[in-house]
Amino acid sequence: MHIKEAAKRLGISARAIRFYEEKGLIAPGKELSSGYRSFTEQEIWRLRTIVALRESGMSVSGIQAALEQVERGEHDELLHYLELQRSVLYARLLETRQTLQTTDHMIGLLQGSRGLPLEDFYRLAQDSREVRELRNWEDRWNFDELASSHDERVWSGDSAYPGYREALERTVEEINPAPGETGLDLGTGTGNLAGLFMERGAVMNGVDQSKEMLRICRSKFPGMTAKIGNFLAVPYTDGQFDFVVTSFAFHHLSGRQQKLALNEMARVLKPQGRIAIAGFINRNADGGAPTDKHRSDSPAGVLDFLDWFGPNGFESKCLRLSPELYLAAARRRLP
């Protein structure tokens, strides 16, 4: 099969095929008599794979790595690679939304002013840049290395996870899921909280940034949908879930990142959705004690994100489960 036939069969241009050849993604043979490129069925299959991966937004270097994994039969590695790609695309989508909002605000400022409001433009651009930087997630805790011993540690009463079982059970009680409701567990780890919701008949989804945590989660709960991602770019579309929960993970975010995470939770919730967050009272993003002072009527380290709920359409409360643990719960108000 010559290049024009291959291009017609695949619905792409001959120029695109030559580009993939130049980048080393394909290496078609050439006919001795004419010197024309000749494509076998195997090369057509490879081109189909390339076209599909390009459609997902993957870079040429990424496609090269993915093709090597396919050829070596590394199904799990290819799956992980595609999951990372999906996570990146969702993050880009959120950045695009943020850019559109900034542009709309600038247009509104220009329409309402005869002059050029440069100071306002600068402030909007600065805010947009700061949000983009805050969304850059970094795993500083090596969760992949902790995954194999995670369940043993949390269920055995390890001092790093005091009151673990009670916190998870109280979270389920507070949400009180109806059979068939759809839920999302952010920072799901090995899926322990999600598993308790599944026992109550909820249809659960999980998000975690750790490949190894998710591998264990999927082996424990094959009926659960689990995706690579994080609090700051949740890889789901708007309005999908009846409730969003998280346990022993929220403190890994800074104060401003927590507000972004709450925006993401609200984005994927249905109109009357619920949120529950269980975690440590006296730990900040680095795992240590908080440096800010808070009112005595709210657990230290919790007040900042609790203040987000009211102005954003939620009724909320915060329960103190122990000297070290809190449970924050919120429900979206009816319009």
Tens digits of per-residue pLDDT, 225-244? 999 899 998 999 999 999 99
What are the sequence ranges of the domains in the chain?
A: 3-71, 75-134, 143-332
- The dihedral formed by the CA atoms of 114, 119, 123 and 124, expressed in degrees to the nearest 10: 20
Over residues 111-140, mean pLDDT: 65
> What is the fold of 143-332?
Rossmann fold (3.40.50)
Predicted pLDDT at 298: 42
Among 41-50, 114-123, 180-189, 226-235, the range scoring the smallest mean pLDDT is 114-123
* Selection from 335, 175, 317 nearest residue 242 by Cα: 175
118 vs 266, higher pLDDT: 266
pLDDT at 264 (0 to 100): 96
Give the mean model confidence (pLDDT) for residues 9-23: 92
DSSP 18-34: HHHHHTTS---EE-TTT
Instruction: Pull the structure tokens for residue 324.
Output: 């070290």
In sequence order, which ranges of 11-74 are alpha helices (DSSP H)?
14-22, 41-55, 60-71
Taking the C-alpha atoms of residue 45 and residue 43, their distance in angstroms, rounded to an integer, is: 5
Backbone torsion region of residue 313, taken as left when φ is above 0, otherwise alpha when ψ lies between -120 and 50, otherwise beta: left
Whether 197 has a pLDDT exceeding 90, the answer reads yes
CB 174 within 8 A of CB 182: no
User: CA 81, 247, 331: angle at the middle one, nearest 5?
Assistant: 105
Fold of 3-71: Multidrug-efflux Transporter Regulator; Chain: A; Domain 2 (1.10.1660)
Share of the chain above pLDDT 90, in %: 44
Residue 252's identity, in one-letter code, is H
Residue scoring higher pLDDT (324 or 90): 324
pLDDT-wise least confident of 49-58, 147-156, 205-214, 264-273: 49-58
The reply to whether 3-71 and 143-332 are identical in fold is: no
Q: How far apart are CA 277 and CA 246, in angstroms?
A: 5
- Cβ-proximal residues to 103 (8 Å cutoff; 6+ apart), any chain: none
Q: What is the mean pLDDT of residues 141-169?
A: 85
Q: Which of 118-132, 142-156, 313-327 has the highest mean pLDDT?
A: 313-327
pLDDT at 73 over 80: no
pLDDT at position 224 over 50: yes
Q: Does the structure show a pLDDT above 60 at 245?
A: yes
| Residue 16 vs residue 286, higher pLDDT | 16
- pLDDT, mean over the chain: 84
